Amino acid sequence: MQEAIYFEPIVKERIWGGQRLREYGFSIPEDVPTGEVWTLASHPNGTTRVETGPFVDFDLEELWSNHPEIFGMETDSDFPLLLKWIDASTDLSVQVHPNDADARRYEQQPYGKNECWYIIDCPEDASLIHGHSLSSPKEFDEAVRQGTLLQSLHHVPVSKGDFLYVPAGTVHALTEGCVVLEIQQNSDTTYRLHDYDRLNPVTGTLRTLHIEQARRVIRFPHYRYLEPSVTLSSSRRRLTRNPDFFVEEWTIRQTHALDPSPSFRIITVVEGTIELDDVVLSVGATALLPAGSKHVVSGDGLMLVTGPAPKTTKPFRIGVDLGGTQTRVAVVDQENVIKQLSFPTNPGAGPGQTISHIEHAIRYFSEEFHLTNIGIAAPGPLDARTGHLLSPPNLPGWDDVDLVTPIASRFELPTCLENDANAAALGEALFGAGKTSSSVYYVTVSTGIGGGYVHEKKLIRGANGYAGEIGNTIIDSSGPVHPVLNTGSLEGLASGTALQSRASEKEASSVEMLLTLPSERTRFINHLAIGLANIIHTVDPEVIIIGGGVTESADVFWEELICRVRELVYSALRPSIDIRLATLKGHAGVIGAAYLG
């Protein structure tokens, strides 16, 4: 068995550093603001050296260059990763990193800097800067000119044990009191946008900002990144797998075998005490496990395992959920959203901008995944056969827009367009609350009310593509006027918009508060129940699934709603009434879109 390899950490003085890394087992100079400890590095700004064993006194660069068998991969390029512990004694500068292409173009460096943070400790009310609200370089320039850049930044609340992935191009900053383990590409290229007027301790002048360099690599608009963690076993949780590295969190409470891996792995103890092959490791300890080696871990603690990401050839689908305020692009595998990028839609800028942003997100995912299909869910009215939006109220000015052709031709993949409610219906019928049923009617009760009907796992679109549009059915002809739909329509009476309007009239602070009022709850239940009873009498589905934002208050009205529906249908149907809450929730549309066609 090849032994684990341990390295001597490198201590880095930083103007924003402190002394807290002592608490994690690192030997740092007294009274020196230590911001970083590099525990595994092979970089011109520092390379770690082997502490013990047959390779003692080799630095990581020498080991990488002369012993490829340790790493299980080609070593003709630079070592790919850098691990560091960070003590943010004060706020770090607001900064951004280039991606690989930008690093080569502007810095003649091999790597950009995708990185991630594992929160070792932080204040109770901590938040980190991750993203911005600026839609274009022009808005960025104006924010810099007016000194309002800080007001445009997104703050993300964090707690101990949280994990954040920070793709290149993301404006970000650690904040005061946070201690993190950072796993990143092997790069030290950083562009500062704001530095709180701190002085260089050597020259006494303001530290340099890199506004022009940052402007070139920031992504406009900011793409919110979602990658749900994946439970691999009772003790293992994958936090990320991207083209540059993977990260897993291992909970060690008993003895575990680390089976051989074709490439090297790195373990870092982040909590408790762990024994690796009879060597006791405390918090802060890092070990490199050679490729093909077997190891045993035991003890009581947490460790992170990282290394080069394994390649996958499995086919995946892309789902796009185009909304009036937000667009989401996701890699989908059945009911699972593997990764997702989302951004503000900005209808006023025209469809070309949004199509360009969608293409960027798909291109980003195509670098990692083998993609086979693209499906787009969008607000109607639309023509699914031609791939055109017609004149959707949620996207004013988008008249007769061809969404499918530019995206299909750009990626040379089958691409489909569908009404957003139909896509959500398909998602719930295939993988959600209706997956065991042959006849599923889906109703979304959200800002508006939409519907879709799926029979034998196939969407029923009707002669003109409008089948299932329950929101425009008339419930009470004397009801309120709707700006687009029929007077007294179901949407005009029972949608989230309608309920919010009623809440304002009744001086209720929220829709949920409105529904605690008996008369208002009865009013809402009666309107929605009439709509559901009409569905049952028209198509007789095996199950009706209800989703959308209003269902977040379902515990207030659900049982009464079911009872009222039963009262409104034929007595012979009452025993078989099956109405369920959606299980895919906010992901139904993007999942259904991925499985169109």
Q: Which residues are known catalytic residues?
A: 192
Distance CA 246, CA 242 (A): 6
Residues with Cβ within 8 Å of residue 360, at least 6 apart in sequence = none
Q: Round to whole Å and give the CA distance between 44 and 189.
A: 12
C-alpha–C-alpha distance, residues 260 and 292, integer Å: 4
CA distances to 115, 162, 272, 340, 401 from 241, in Å: 12, 16, 25, 13, 36
Q: For tokens 């340099």, name the residue.
A: 208
- DSSP E strands, 351-438: 370-378, 382-383, 388-389, 401-402, 415-419
- Residues making up the chain, counted from first to last: 597
Backbone angles phi, psi at 69, to 5 degrees: -60, -25
Beta bridge partners of 241: 246
Residue 165 DSSP SS3: strand
> Look-up: residue for tokens 């939006």?
389
What gap in Å lies between CA 22 and CA 43, rounded to an integer?
24
**Alpha carbons 47 and 65: distance in angstroms, whole number:** 13
| 3-state DSSP assignment of residue 3 | coil
- What distance lies between CA 173 and its chain's CA centroid? 18
| Dist CA 591 CA 453 (whole Å) | 16
Please provide residue 230's backbone torsions phi and psi, each rounded to the nearest 5 degrees: -120, 125
Do the Cβ atoms of 338 and 587 come closer than 8 Å? no
CA 297 from centroid of its chain's CA atoms: 31
State how far the Cα of 39 lies from the Cα of 560, in Å rounded to an integer: 60
Do 462 and 511 form a contact (C-beta atoms < 8 A)? no
> Which spans in 106-231 are helix H?
137-146, 211-217
Per DSSP, the three-state class of 444 is strand
Q: What is the dihedral of CA 563, 568, 573, 577, to 10 degrees?
A: -40
Say if residues 454 and 470 touch (Cβ distance below 8 Å). Answer: no
Residue 286 phi, psi dihedral angles, 5° rounding: -130, 140
3-state secondary structure of 73: coil
Q: Which residue has the tokens 């089948």?
A: 467
Handedness of CA 150, 155, 159, 163 (dihedral sign): negative
- Distance between CA 97 and CA 94 in Å, rounded? 11
